Chains A and B, each alone.
Chain A
Amino acid sequence: MANAAPDRGFLCRDCLNCGPVPAGARPRCTACGSPRSLIHPERDSLAIAHIDCDAFFAAVEKRENPALADRPVIIGGGRRGVVSTACYVARIHGVRSAMPMFKALEACPDAVVIRPRMALYAQVGRQVREMMRALTPLVEPLSIDEAFLDLGGTERLHGASPALTLARFARQVEEEVGISVSVGLSYNNFLAKIASDRDKPRGFSIIGRAEAQVYLAGQPVGILPGVGRVAQERLARAGIRRIGDIAGRSLPDLMRIAGNDAQRLAKLARGEDSRRVEPERAAKSVSNETTFDTDIAALEVLEPILWELAEKVARRLRAGGIAGRTVVLKLKTRDFRNRTRTVSGLAPTQLATRLYAAARRLLVAECDGTAFRLIGIGAADLVDGALADQGDLADSDVVREKSRETAIATLRERFGDTIVKRGISLRHATPPAAGGRRSDEGGEG
């Protein structure tokens, strides 16, 4: 165990100076005077990190437009949309992610609302990810703006403990990218993630082996991965509210309450997590969805919307060199119930017409007068794009359709997306440019 030597117990996150811990209840760096220190007995023996960008979308927008720096900024769209990200200024007013936009604006009337610019965020996200990969090959992205890193064995390479490497990284991101991150450092994934959440924004928090179980005991069960609202309610009915309550139960007892999940919860409550940091997790599905400004029940109105989403998914499949064998239709009803319908066992495809045809069949069965607020289409069960749309003895049309879609894609690349459109997408009552809908790029990792 490479416990921090007593004379290097203090690590300054601003000037990266190391030295003995200065006296006082809130010691400041002797070199630069900053109070942002890292002092922890296990600091230099932990190697699993979770890095999360702070209010990512909002931070990128503030970087792009410095005039917004001190203003409350909300990323999200449309009258009917929800808050995707709120900057920390907006959060002071009570604005939260996933809050309906009208509520957010009630709470914070002078907020600047910005429609998400996904392409820009993706580009910044990639830049940050590349910087992570420079630290270790073991980077497991969880989303566009967060990732697990395993820095075990990188001490010699970086000439620094993982903690120092991460502090250096956080400073580097602020300087080079212009956004801030929060870091959690621990000995496994789930504690690292809990740690990064503890000290946001611009945080750096450490959970060591010695303290993990005691710390967890006092925390609500909701911070455990996979324990959502429903599970929380079920546990609460059995008197389990804090993680310590889980640790206090016998496993058979816990199985009666939590079923199959009991064993996993018991381990998490003890601070154990056997998941490793898995780099390069391939995408499991590619999907796009959109929320309507007003609810839609009519099939013929939903069809062109579904078609355009299918085209987007097809484009992303082509770009990623992958093909789907399963098509998923997602609908959300007026009263926020999700309906997910799936058709699988298809010949691998990346064609919009194929995706659309499969999803439309599913949609027809759902159009029973119910009004929907959201529609989405996804391709799953992904395989190598080289296997896509080969055609077979009973299907010779697909090859022609493939060359048709490829030709359209080439045209659009050269002349813009509006150069070619299928008849079906011209069926809108209002042209899409007039801003009928909000479009969310989907895509689960």
Chain B
Amino acid sequence: MKVTVERAALLKALGHVHRVVERRNTIPILSNVLLRADDGGLRLKATDLDMEVTETIVADIAQPGATTVPAHVIYDIVRKLPEGAQISLEVSGDSTQMVLRSSRSRFNLQALPESDFPDIAAGELPHAFAVPPGDFKRLIEKTQFAISTEETRYYLNGIYLHAIDGDDGPVLRAVATDGHRLARIEVAAPEGTAGMPGVIVPRKAVAEILKLLEDSGDAVQVSLSPAKIRLDFGGVVLTSKLIDGTFPDYQRVIPAGNDKTLIVDRAEFARSVDRVSTISSERGRAVKLSLTDGRLTLTVNNPDSGSATEEIEVEYEAAALDIGFNARYLMDITGQLDGDTAILKLADPGSPTLIQDREGAAALYVLMPMRV
């Protein structure tokens, strides 16, 4: 194999693929990135066995071939080479080493053969559709925070992506929950989503997808089966296994009959929650919301450090109510809302609360109260 590439192109591609590679690996080949030079250019691929990312870049191919080298090492080398550099990659003879040259720099990298490199992308993906990049970003960005890290409920360790008939026609919907809060976002269903299975995209893939979306302006080509999902961002392709489990019936826990409506200025509310929660020493301390006619009092009590209270003007006409929430969760959710206002629909201090930026919004959040 002998190829010459622009530093910028190689750096960008390595930047995309090397993140998949775990820092510590018991299987040596999983530390490596696969480099394959052929007619189409130079293809890079990295995997952690649950997901793989591939990207093809333009290269001057003098001699086709393939090898694998340590991903983080080659990424660091390319990163440190000067801007505008031309980089040549060459494997010759016994192929146990790859030589990387650029101007007066020369690196010999230990290589492992391509034949040892695992391939998880195989298999048919019968469902395919294209999602506008902004839509996909919304679906993921606004639900990601609610993904559970609890290993015993592994089926919550991802975003549940599924097609469903919404109030205004078919939608593509993303749901995530850790049991304490739930985020549900939907976008108009793209052509081809009808009949797709509901899938749970694991959190590591979600984080990668979000980063790859930042560099991509094109529509995302999605194809999936019940076991795998592939996203083509135009040049970069991510393939991930899906979580093999059943996502709970989230529809049941979205409150429909909450009759106490609280409307707040979103930014003011978030700042107030943030301020009063300063007094709590640990994350997850409850903030008490005391509601009376037109007035909301936020209180945090910390037996170790003191207490904080703040009053804000709100729209609230229902019966007086005291309810506690995890301050962190409240801020997470208000941080995801779009508009200037936030609508909280409450029932009682023991029941889940519904939070949206406006009635019927495409983004919907459910928050469990805390005892205060």
Contacts and interface: CB of A to CB of B under 8 A. Distances in A.
A392 B179 contact: yes
B352 interface: yes
A345 B179 CA distance: 13
Contacts of B180: 392-393
Interface stretch (B78-86, B147-155, B222-230, B233-241): B147-155
B253 A347 contact: no
B250 interface: yes
Contacts of A393: 177, 179-182, 250, 253, 352, 366, 368
B217 to A, nearest CB: 35
A395 interface: yes
A347 B252 contact: no
A394 B148 CA distance: 10
A327 to B, nearest CB: 10
Contacts of A32: none
Nearest to B156: A394
Size range of the interface on A? 10 to 19
B152 A394 contact: no
Interface residues of B, number: 19
A164 interface: no
Contact of B248 (A347, A358, A394): A394
Nearest to A397: B248
B179 A395 contact: yes
Contacts of A347: 179
A396 B182 CA distance: 14
B265 interface: no
A337 to B, nearest CB: 25
Contacts of A394: 148, 153, 156, 177-179, 182, 248, 250, 253
Interface string B140-174: 00000000101111001000000000000000000
Interface in B278-312: none
A347 B156 CA distance: 14
Question: Of A343, A394, A395, which is in contact with the most chain B CB atoms at under 10 Å from its CB?
Answer: A394
Interface string A330-356: 000000000000010111000000000
B368 A346 contact: no
Interface in B174-188: 177-182
A346 B250 contact: no
A240 B177 CA distance: 58
Interface in A386-406: 392-396
Contacts of B366: 393
A345 B150 contact: yes
Interface string B304-346: 0000000000000000000000000000000000000000000
Contacts of A345: 150-152
B181 A358 contact: no
A392 B150 CA distance: 13
Interface in A363-406: 392-396
Nearest to A395: B179
Contacts of B153: 394-395
A392 B148 CA distance: 12
B36 to A, nearest CB: 39
A325 to B, nearest CB: 11
A347 B151 CA distance: 12
A345 B152 CA distance: 8
Contacts of B248: 394-396
Nearest to B352: A393
Contacts of B148: 394
A358 B179 contact: no
A394 B156 CA distance: 8
A396 B248 CA distance: 9
A396 B150 CA distance: 17
A343 B154 CA distance: 13
A358 B152 contact: yes
Interface in A89-118: none
Contacts of A395: 153, 179, 248
A227 B177 CA distance: 48
Given A345-B150, A347-B179, A393-B366, 10 more contacts: A345-B151, A346-B152, A358-B152, A393-B181, A393-B182, A393-B352, A393-B368, A394-B156, A394-B178, A395-B248
23 contacts: A343-B152, A345-B150, A345-B151, A345-B152, A346-B152, A347-B179, A358-B152, A392-B180, A392-B368, A393-B177, A393-B181, A393-B253, A393-B352, A393-B366, A393-B368, A394-B153, A394-B177, A394-B178, A394-B250, A395-B179, A396-B248, A396-B252, A396-B253
Question: Closest 3 CB pairs between A and B?
Answer: A392-B179, A394-B179, A393-B253
Interface of B: 148, 150-153, 156, 177-182, 248, 250, 252-253, 352, 366, 368
